[in-house]
Chain A
Amino acid sequence: MKLLFQATWAVLRKDLRSELRTRYALNALLLFAVSAATAVSLGVGPLGSGSIAVSVQAALLWVALLFAALNGLARSFVQEEERRTSLALRLTAPPLAVYLGKLLFNLVLLALLDLVTTLLFLVFVRVSIGNIGLFIALLLLGSVSLVTATTLIAAIIARASFKSGLFAVLAFPLLVPVLVVVIQGTALALRGDPWSAGLPMLQLLLAYIVVTFVASSMLFPVVWEA
């Protein structure tokens, strides 16, 4: 068990270090976030806080997050294949540690993306958040669901040709439930509804996270050794 944690930590540290050297995924994600927020701001401008406005803002925020995530999250696995380092990784770390390490790395990336995108939306689109606690909870759980659902898919598409296009194609149908719930929940949070209104959505996201995490960690060794 301790060995697993050490190996996970090593994989995570390796990924972070190699990412900081090239900043490939980081740049892609952040520039995508900036472009999306700018485009939304130029296109729709400040919408106020009517009931339609909060729905539109919530949807735009999550669309921006989703496509930025689909742009960058496959990177950690794809680069292992492109640089032909996956064999070395296969030899040195157990599959579960690789999976957990990459999962945590993606989480770090997405947390950064969340922060930047939300700040940009607050500034450019003048989104006002009614219930900040609920908003943050939804943002966090939504992001974790994105990551638990897409990390396994990233590992799958790393083996395929036409990688980046395939990632979105495979990930989107699985993310539909998350998107629906999180967009509606975020709209409630922006409007300032109490926690009780958002609770069923948080529960559903939590269930989704548990299910996809367990399924991925069981299926990952097959993908990794395929």
Chain B
Amino acid sequence: MRRLSPVAVVALLVILAWAVAAILAPLIAPFPPGRIVTRDTLADISARFPLGSDYLGRDMLSRVLHGARYTMGIALVSTTLACLMGVTLGLTAAARGGWFDMTASRILDAMISVPSLLAALVVVSSLGSSIPVLIGAAAVIYTPGAYRLSRAVAVNIAAMDFVTVARARGEGTLYIIAAEILPNMILPVLTDFGLRFVFVVLLLTGMSFLGLGIQPPAADWGTLVRENIEGLSYGAPAVIMPALAIATLTISVNALIDRIPGAGQGDSR
């Protein structure tokens, strides 16, 4: 087992810190996120409010911690769904080929041609914004990408002799997918999962920033940037801190998946 590089270790620690923060937010947040605790709005960093206060005088630390639950939770569920659907379809297309591959590839190619933010805006504005709608929209939007990658990887594996041997033995498609192909594509799929997670975080925070994502009083990091945007001209931490949260999370995930040992080589040398 090759060791992780120092950059990957730092990235992993940042991701873990955010994950712990999201899980433990109700326990470690100093104040309830919705309570107005000071009259000093858009306040600077202080001992009592380590990340300052927001435009209504709520504690920013508590709001960022709770925001992590929305941002990371929704992104995790959407990405998992997108990858599950994409990988399942991609593997089936690669193993079966023929008309199934043709049809699935063309339909998903058509979907990929619609800009993701535009598609999300259309879905949310027609169905209304709620957490299930956001999750569903993000999952469907990022399925074609996951499909493309997993199909491309699986097609290469399906052409290998050990898959031909399994076919000649009389094995069914399901066995070939599960036992012969899938174990050899875990790494690229894992890498793709990380990348897609970053995309979903950016889509989600972008939607919230436009006011179409998580609705007040609940707030994810995108909503936090939006509601405190007037503080930008004063350099208020209330607008900088959630933006920093988004940046540290996405950059860390990217840095980590770039450095997974063996990823991107697709073999077991």
Q: Do A and B bind each other?
A: no
